[in-house]
Structure 1
Amino acid sequence: MAGGRPGAGPAPSVAAVRLAVRRALTGLSADGPVLVACSGGADSLALAVATAFVTSRLGRSAGLVTVDHGLQAGSVERAAAVAEWAGRVGFDPVEAVPVTVAGRPGGPEAAARQARYQALTDAARRHRAAAVLLGHTRDDQAETVLLALARGAGPRGLAGMPARRDVAGVPLLRPLLDVTREQTRGACAALGLVPWQDPHNTDPSYARARVRADALPALVAALGAGVRDNLARTARLLAADTAALDDLAAAALATPPTAPGDPALDGSAPDGSASGGPVSDGSASGGPVSDGSASGGPVSDGSASGGSAPGGAGVRVGGGLSVAALAGLPGAVRGRVLHAWARELGAAPGALSHRHVDALDALVTAWRGQGPTALPGGRRVGRRDGRLLPVD
């Protein structure tokens, strides 16, 4: 994996990768090295050499972590070769980290990703790293959006991979989301680097490999070469919208609880139930009611569901959430509030689905006396006194 390119200046592909890394690192205030996650493939190899170049000019140190998932013959030797190369060209610290994928939740791709991110964040904390850099490109982003669309994902899924995401307090940066896979391969070729070819990338048993080999090329053939760029741009636009909606939901949950005596707690609450009545358990299903009301649709008493919470108040009240305040939120914000609250109650993020959130939403917008809604982890939520409350 050694080599160089003689000449007066870098190849355009090399310059593009370096510029992307410089933009990602400019303004990164935390001390400590930046760590590159490198498999030895073209994307992460191009990222690594660009990071070494840029950090040397920014006065930062750069380290490298390669993760051995143990899923292929020769994986130990490959990880050792990447680590040996990294140490030889000046990365410090350098680690080859073995992980165990078997037994983790989700499919093989999700399990490997979870194991890899845990290894990377653990390494970052060991070395007090300022950030970990990941080599996902614009092509990876387009594939992610297409996969999310096929799964019926909402805006968060279609927003794709963020340029920055903090995991366990560690910033994960993706500098190359505006760089193409062709450019990373071109950068490696220009610098005389020989990338490792991951057989998983062409294994049809993996959904992403099928999208890469068949689905996305078919779309390009049918709709033109701009498909990849358009999918990636869609992700950027939706990411901005999603961030704004998330902020509104966080503000609704962060606002101090409504004071006693607020209309949200009196007998005129939208459920029409008398204050002090028991949580209804007349329905065992806990799912959306049979009238087919959509999540975020009209509130059953006819009040509009597009305004703000009453008096600008938050949604928390009396150990639960105010039905009146929730009903006054736009559906997109209300769904996020309910999702975040369910997680507070102990619902595992990986098991919490749109069906659970829809069932909670039905307690607000389509109240017909249905009983408590079951959440992953064994918690249940019911409606009483104009509130959504955990049920023992």
Structure 2
Amino acid sequence: MAALAPPIAAIRVAVRRALTGLPAGGPVLVACSGGADSLALAAATVFVAPRLGRAAGLVTVDHGLQPGSAERAEAVAGWARGVGFAPVESVRVEVAGRPGGPEAAAREARYQALTGVAGRHRAVALLTGHTRDDQAETVLLALARGAGPRGLAGMPARRDLDGVPLLRPLLEISREQTRKACAMLGLSPWEDPHNVDPSYARARVRADLLPALVRALGPGVLDNLARTARLVAADNAALDDLAAGALAEVRHPDGGLSVPALAVLSPAVRGRVLHAWARELGAPPAALSHRHVAALDALVTGWHGQGAAHLPGGLRVVRRADRLVPAGRAG
């Protein structure tokens, strides 16, 4: 018996690790665009899942942004049915009119569609095909945008998405491995033109910046960037645990926060406490930025009688004596 090709074996091992330990019940769902990464993930999942006693389904999302997108989505769905995925869904979404840039709007629409399908089928997990290369790109973009530790942590291997575990099994698999796996399996991936469109920042990082870094520093730079994300994520988790305990300790009975108790916290923990509290008040997480947290922090550490700190969603926070308190929404 011929040995299994290394790229195929590596991807199957990664999928097996991701699926091991999931609760019994509904299927695992693969989000598949038809590109090399998600196609390689899908091929591995439909092989591995039944051997673990699990059903494997697939969902493909048609963003309607390019000619022929509906036909392409149906082709992916047809392939999935042919190789044994069940359930299989092709979902059309509307991207126009959503807040943010085109990338953010498409991502929001896509994840809404994915969680909707996952909920209907009571899926125990949703799998996406993000690779080590995607992680390296994410870290570089975060660094360029001054995103801080949360951004430098990149994409987590697992996170909750509206009650469904979102798994990224391929974060230690390279894009080259997924392409080789597809070729060895006789699969023909779709090449998304957005991936080479220079109007998108990620496409510029992929086409220009990462290759330049590899030429200057060697191919290990991709692994190093991905490892940086893992290390920062571990530090973030520890700081978030500290912040959760600190938030409970600085709460005032009236629902505000004690300024003296906040003032003695380390800046890293205090910033996380204020960030978490702002979210509790209703600030949209995607819009809550460093400058909003800095404005709250100034009410604690730079108090000179200033007015309210304004948060996304029209929320306001003011300092009254020794407390930070919500002051309702701006008119």
Which bin holds the TM-score, normalised by the shorter protein? over 0.9
- Contact 1:133-1:173 within 8 A present in 2 as well: yes
Q: What RMSD in Å do the two structures reach over aligned CA positions? A: 1.1
- How many residue pairs end up in the alignment? 328
SS at structure 1 position matched to 2:202:
helix
Does residue 146 in structure 1 map to residue 82 in structure 2? no
- Report the CA distance between 1:351 and its aligned residue: 2.2
Q: 1:328 aligns with which of 264, 271, 285?
A: 264
The equivalent of 2:315 in structure 1 is 379
Structure 1 runs of 4+ off > 3 angstroms?
313-317
- Contact 1:251-1:314 within 8 A present in 2 as well: no
Q: Distance in 2 between matches of 1:13 and 1:119?
A: 30
Q: Distance in 2 between matches of 1:44 and 1:379?
A: 40
The equivalent of 2:227 in structure 1 is 233
Does residue 169 in structure 1 map to residue 163 in structure 2? yes
Q: Distance in 2 between matches of 1:184 and 1:89?
A: 18
- Contact 1:335-1:361 within 8 A present in 2 as well: yes
Does residue 61 in structure 1 map to residue 39 in structure 2? no
Q: Distance in 2 between matches of 1:332 and 1:140?
A: 27
The correspondence of residues 196-211 of structure 1 with structure 2, limited to 5 A, is 196-211=190-205
The equivalent of 2:189 in structure 1 is 195
The equivalent of 1:46 in structure 2 is 40
- Report the CA distance between 1:30 and its aligned residue: 4.0
Q: Distance in 1 between matches of 2:200 and 2:225?
A: 21
The equivalent of 2:285 in structure 1 is 349
Does residue 118 in structure 1 map to residue 112 in structure 2? yes
The correspondence of residues 297-312 of structure 1 with structure 2, limited to 5 A, is none
Does residue 339 in structure 1 map to residue 275 in structure 2? yes
Q: Distance in 2 between matches of 1:198 and 1:340?
A: 37
The amino acid that maps onto 1:389 is V
Give the structure with the larger helix fraction: 2
- Contact 1:35-1:131 within 8 A present in 2 as well: yes
CA deviation profile, 1:180-199 (whole Å, cap 9, x unmatched)? 01111111111111111111
Q: Distance in 2 between matches of 1:128 and 1:241?
A: 33
The equivalent of 1:80 in structure 2 is 74
Does residue 37 in structure 1 map to residue 8 in structure 2? no
TM-score, structure 1 length as denominator?
A: 0.82
Q: Distance in 1 between matches of 2:243 and 2:324?
A: 16
The equivalent of 2:209 in structure 1 is 215
Q: Distance in 1 between matches of 2:98 and 2:153?
A: 25
- Report the CA distance between 1:316 and its aligned residue: 3.7
Could you tell me which runs of 5 or more consecutive residues in structure 1 were left unpaired when the two chains were aligned.
1-6, 256-312
Percent identical: 77
CA deviation profile, 1:65-112 (whole Å, cap 9, x unmatched)? 000000000000000000001001100000000000001111101110
Could you tell me which runs of 5 or more consecutive residues in structure 2 were left unpaired when the two chains were aligned.
none
